């Protein structure tokens, strides 16, 4: 079939904006491609139009819905309210505008009086201004003796004085004892306090027949917090949003907590030639972008991605846990993107862990389901019977380690990456915590000792320091070594010397250590006095002597592949390590004030300042240059990274990306993604196609050059090859160089090996 044209976002926006300005015909707007009958979906208008045009379109859509509903949908009769509603089943509509009305006759709610009776009474008393509630409140059975009593003037106070009556006094409106009779509104509603974790609170009045979901909506509006919220009792129990207030057994004076989940962004695991991002939006849906075959295209499962609770990622696939405990996967089938073989088993999933090429899901009954590359832990059949009462799972690059309820450990996957712990079965008892490097695991036991297994040269053998591993508090890992902090603040290290496995040169300085951070091949320890001690490969940040005098009152440290960035107590930043991996921040040093947090990609850093702006440095084409989006980077709440890109979440829940496109740096086309199979191009298609090819080729070349740089710096090709297929760069780079006639950062590409799979 002949492909359809693809239009740029600006063309789409103008096409749709014009249609909306012309009237209701926009509701039947088709794809602009000649002969295409595809209707433009309503959500596209919301995504692309400016707010005023989007509101106009929503009004047209609502009017059309009401007009075509044959009475099944009606306008709210509230003054100025533009909302419409369908019959909720109870006959009573509780509109967010505050009006409670009868769906059948559009009057104020009037149960148990019939609509016809209300209409007759209104007609009879229209000139007298009578209230429709008169019918309900002027006759009532005495709640004590069941005699019928009629109101004879006065207030709501009623006394049973009829012959045979009992003299009982009560409120005639709701047959409540007089001294307990509240006002009409308070009889129908309760008052609850809703608190945020920050301490901010609001007292809300809510009708007893309203839903918990409506209370949540009001709470978020009152507290002015966007996002996907949940209401919790003081006990921690999550309230069912679909339940009415009275069914949820809420009472006046109850204190609830509002937990709001903001937009979450997840990147595929670092260390692959391509990367992708997926964003869990505040409505529980998911948007993915960048490399289609590496998790950047979720269109095949988009309809299933609703009420998503959690995202997890391998190097080229994503897995989403839904609210009902089911799992949806997408991305490269070779890396866990296809879970069809185990789909029937994926029920009541509680959490998911990922290695480079596989996933492991813990079910509600404590069992485990795995899928993906077998040699990355995707096949757990050999230990399936042992996987009972699993509490937690940790992953190395190609293996999993599961902690059971009794403190024992079960492992599977690539044996050289820690998938075989059979030699340590007797030692792995009462395990409290497990840490992983790319090729090994280290476990802290209940008695404070530690056990390591996996690749012996890369941290999997701790026998040389076993006697020193007492009272271990925490363990940190580089790519090929471990560092343990003991109870007295001392540090014990083991693993490959080139990865920081030998700290003997600084051992006397490692006293009262509070925290350790690791780059690929080095460690940095923060001491109690705020100073820093480093060791490992100097090229990867293991030598901080050049900035040692500046490292005072350090609060936290972040690490890229080969550099470190420390935030000081005054909000300034000190960096060291490989300059083109973010170790040199001199170009932006004056901007690095009042820094709150730092995120790192492979060779770049991004700092969030106190007022929500962002400062970046490092390799410019890998996210170190954010100038193209700088004006948009306001009110930034958090930042996530892939190898060579960043995604910033703003206060309003929107996401801004920058960096290399193949690593998630370009999300500008997200909203058009679902149409990729039936839309195409605008004028001058040949020129545009050629331009796109060149841009894609250049982006690919930058990726290859980036990983070639890593190979040259690393000088250990076998480690790179172990995580994927080894492939020579020479032919690939030569092809791109010939096509584009550009240099790979001035470097001659020869017989290199990159990390990952094309």
Task: Please compute the mean of the pLDDT values over residues 632-643 and round it to a whole number.
Answer: 88
Say how many domains are in the chain: 3
pLDDT higher than 70, residue 715: no
Residue ending a domain, choose from 216, 243, 261:
261
User: 398: which residues sit within 8 A by CB, 6+ positions away?
Assistant: 355, 356, 357, 373, 375, 376, 377, 413, 414, 416, 417, 419, 722, 723
The pLDDT assigned to 16 comes to 84
- Is 181 contained in some domain? no
pTM of the model: 0.62
Band the pLDDT of 148: cuts 50, 70, 90.
low
Contact at 8 Å (CB) between 457 and 438? no
The pLDDT assigned to 19 comes to 82
- Is 173 contained in some domain? no
Sign of torsion, CA 248 250 254 258? positive
Rg from Cα positions in the chain: 32
Sign of torsion, CA 55 58 63 64? positive
What percent of the chain stands above pLDDT 90? 41
For the record, the structure tokens of 427 come out as 């030692």
> Residue 513 and residue 489: Cα distance in Å, rounded?
5
User: 173: which residues sit within 8 A by CB, 6+ positions away?
Assistant: 136, 137, 156, 181, 184, 187
User: 10: which residues sit within 8 A by CB, 6+ positions away?
Assistant: none
Tokens 């405990």 identify what position? Answer: 325
Task: Please compute the mean of the pLDDT values over residues 463-468 and round it to a whole number.
Answer: 95
Task: Please compute the mean of the pLDDT values over residues 158-167 and round it to a whole number.
Answer: 52
- Is 41 contained in some domain? yes
Contact at 8 Å (CB) between 456 and 495? no
Domain extent for 95: 9-102
- Is 200 contained in some domain? yes
pLDDT digits (tens, 9 = 90+) for 20-67: 877 778 888 888 776 677 788 777 787 788 877 888 888 888 777 777
**CATH number of the domain encompassing residue 200:** 3.10.20.90
pLDDT higher than 80, residue 69: no
Burial of 632 (0-12, 13-18, 19+ CB in 10 A): middle
pLDDT higher than 50, residue 430: yes
In eight-state DSSP terms, residue 755 is S
Alpha-carbon distances of 607 from 262, 311, 596, 656, rounded to whole Å: 20, 24, 7, 14
- Strands of 645-650's sheet in order across: 636-641, 645-650, 655-659
Alpha-carbon dihedral of residues 397, 403, 407, 411, nearest 10 degrees?
-60
> Residue 758 and residue 642: Cα distance in Å, rounded?
17
Residue of higher predicted confidence among 470 and 87? 470
Residue ending a domain, choose from 84, 102, 120:
102
User: 731: which residues sit within 8 A by CB, 6+ positions away?
Assistant: none
Band the pLDDT of 445: cuts 50, 70, 90.
very high
Mark 544-568 as b/e (b = at least 16 C-beta within 10 Å): beebeebbeebeebbbbbbbbbbbb
Tokens 């540090």 identify what position? Answer: 491
- Is 553 contained in some domain? no
Alpha-carbon distances of 578 from 238, 554, 558, rounded to whole Å: 48, 20, 14
Question: Would you call 527 helix, strand, or coil by DSSP?
Answer: strand
For the record, the structure tokens of 618 come out as 């490092």
Residue ending a domain, choose from 102, 133, 153:
102
What percent of the chain stands above pLDDT 70? 75
The least confident of 103-112, 140-149, 229-238, 287-296 is 140-149
pLDDT digits (tens, 9 = 90+) for 563-608: 999 999 999 999 999 998 999 999 999 999 999 999 999 899 999 9
**Nearest partner of 394 among 352, 451, 446, judged by Cα:** 352
> Residue 422 and residue 379: Cα distance in Å, rounded?
17
- Is 403 contained in some domain? no
For the chain, the first-to-last Cα distance in angstroms comes to 29
Question: Would you call 492 helix, strand, or coil by DSSP?
Answer: strand
* Host H or E run for residue 201: strand 201-207
pLDDT higher than 90, residue 717: no
**Nearest partner of 536 among 494, 505, 499, 508, judged by Cα:** 499
Tokens 């209401």 identify what position? Answer: 231
- Is 637 contained in some domain? no
Q: Are strands 148-150 and 139-141 parallel, antiparallel or unpaired?
A: antiparallel
- Is 670 contained in some domain? no
Please provide the size of the chain in residues. Answer: 758
> Residue 385 and residue 306: Cα distance in Å, rounded?
33
Alpha-carbon distances of 220 from 229, 260, 321, rounded to whole Å: 8, 9, 25
Render 166-192 in DSSP notation, one character per residue: ---EEETTTTEEGGG---HHHHHEEEE
């Amino acid at each position: 079939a002949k492909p359809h044209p693809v239009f740029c976002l600006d063309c789409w926006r103008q096409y749709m904006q014009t249609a909306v300005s012309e009237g209701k015909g926009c509701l039947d707007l088709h794809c602009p491609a000649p002969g295409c009958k595809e209707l433009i979906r309503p959500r596209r208008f919301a995504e692309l139009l400016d707010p005023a045009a989007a509101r106009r379109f929503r009004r047209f859509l609502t009017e059309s819905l009401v007009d075509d509903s044959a009475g099944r949908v009606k306008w709210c009769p509230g003054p100025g309210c533009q909302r419409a509603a369908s019959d909720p089943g109870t006959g009573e509509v509780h509109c967010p505008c505050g009006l409670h009305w009868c769906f059948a006759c559009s009057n104020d709610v009037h149960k148990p009086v019939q609509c016809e009776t209300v209409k007759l009474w209104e007609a009879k008393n229209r000139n007298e201004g009578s209230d429709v509630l008169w019918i309900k409140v002027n006759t009532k059975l005495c709640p004590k003796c069941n005699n019928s009593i009629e109101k004879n003037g006065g207030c709501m106070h009623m006394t049973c004085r009829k012959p045979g009556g009992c003299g009982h006094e009560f409120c005639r409106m709701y047959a409540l004892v007089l001294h307990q009779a509240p006002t009409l509104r308070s009889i129908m509603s309760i008052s609850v306090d809703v608190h945020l974790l920050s301490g901010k609170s609001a007292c809300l009045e809510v009708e007893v027949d309203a839903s918990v979901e409506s209370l949540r909506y009001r709470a978020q509006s009152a507290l002015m917090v966007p996002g996907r919220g949940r209401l919790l009792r003081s006990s921690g129990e999550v309230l069912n949003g679909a339940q009415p207030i009275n069914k949820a057994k809420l009472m006046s004076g109850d204190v609830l907590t509002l937990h709001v989940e903001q937009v979450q962004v997840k990147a595929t695991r670092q260390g692959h030639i391509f990367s992708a991002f997926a964003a869990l939006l505040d409505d529980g849906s998911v948007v993915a972008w960048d490399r289609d075959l590496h998790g950047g295209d979720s269109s095949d499962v988009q309809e299933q991605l609703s009420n998503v609770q959690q995202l997890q990622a391998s190097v080229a696939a994503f897995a989403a846990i839904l609210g009902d405990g089911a799992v949806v996967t997408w991305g490269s089938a070779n890396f866990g993107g296809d879970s069809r073989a185990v789909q029937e088993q994926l029920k009541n999933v509680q959490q998911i862990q990922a290695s480079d090429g596989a996933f492991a899901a813990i079910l509600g009954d404590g069992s485990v389901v795995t899928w993906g590359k077998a040699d990355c832990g995707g096949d757990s059949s050999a230990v399936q019977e042992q996987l009972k009462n699993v509490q937690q799972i940790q992953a190395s690059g190609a293996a999993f380690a599961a902690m059971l309820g009794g403190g024992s450990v079960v492992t599977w996957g690539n044996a050289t990456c820690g998938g075989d712990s059979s030699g340590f079965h007797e030692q792995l008892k009462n395990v409290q915590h497990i840490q992983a490097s790319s090729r090994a695991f280290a476990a802290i036991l209940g008695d404070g000792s530690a056990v390591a297994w996996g690749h012996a040269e890369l941290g999997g053998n701790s026998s040389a320091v076993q006697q020193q591993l007492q009272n271990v508090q925490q363990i940190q890992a580089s790519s090929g070594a471990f560092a343990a902090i003991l109870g007295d603040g001392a540090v014990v290290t083991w693993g490959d010397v080139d990865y920081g496995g030998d700290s003997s040169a600084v051992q006397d300085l490692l006293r009262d250590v509070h925290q350790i951070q690791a780059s690929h091949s080095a460690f940095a320890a923060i001491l109690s006095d705020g100073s820093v001690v480093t060791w490992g490969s100097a090229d990867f940040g293991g030598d901080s002597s050049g900035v040692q005098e500046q490292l005072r009152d350090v609060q936290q440290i972040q690490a890229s592949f080969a550099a470190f960035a420390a935030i000081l107590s005054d909000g300034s930043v000190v960096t060291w390590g490989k300059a083109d991996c973010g170790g040199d921040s001199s170009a932006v040093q004056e901007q690095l004030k009042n820094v709150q947090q730092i995120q790192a990609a492979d060779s770049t850093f991004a700092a969030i300042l106190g007022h929500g702006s962002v400062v970046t440095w490092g390799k410019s084409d890998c996210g170190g240059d954010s100038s193209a989006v700088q004006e948009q980077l306001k009110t930034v709440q958090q930042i996530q990274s892939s190898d060579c890109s960043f995604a910033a979440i703003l206060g309003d829940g929107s996401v801004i990306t920058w960096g290399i496109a193949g690593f998630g740096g370009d999300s500008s086309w997200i909203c058009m993604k679902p149409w990729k199979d039936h839309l195409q191009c605008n004028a001058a298609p040949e020129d545009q196609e050629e331009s796109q090819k060149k841009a894609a080729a250049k982006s690919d070349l930058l990726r290859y050059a980036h990983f070639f740089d890593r190979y040259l710096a690393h000088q250990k090709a076998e480690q790179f090859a172990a995580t994927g297929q080894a492939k020579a760069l020479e032919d690939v780079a030569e092809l791109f160089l010939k096509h584009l006639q550009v240099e790979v950062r001035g470097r001659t590409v020869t017989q290199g090996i990159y990390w990952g799979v094309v």
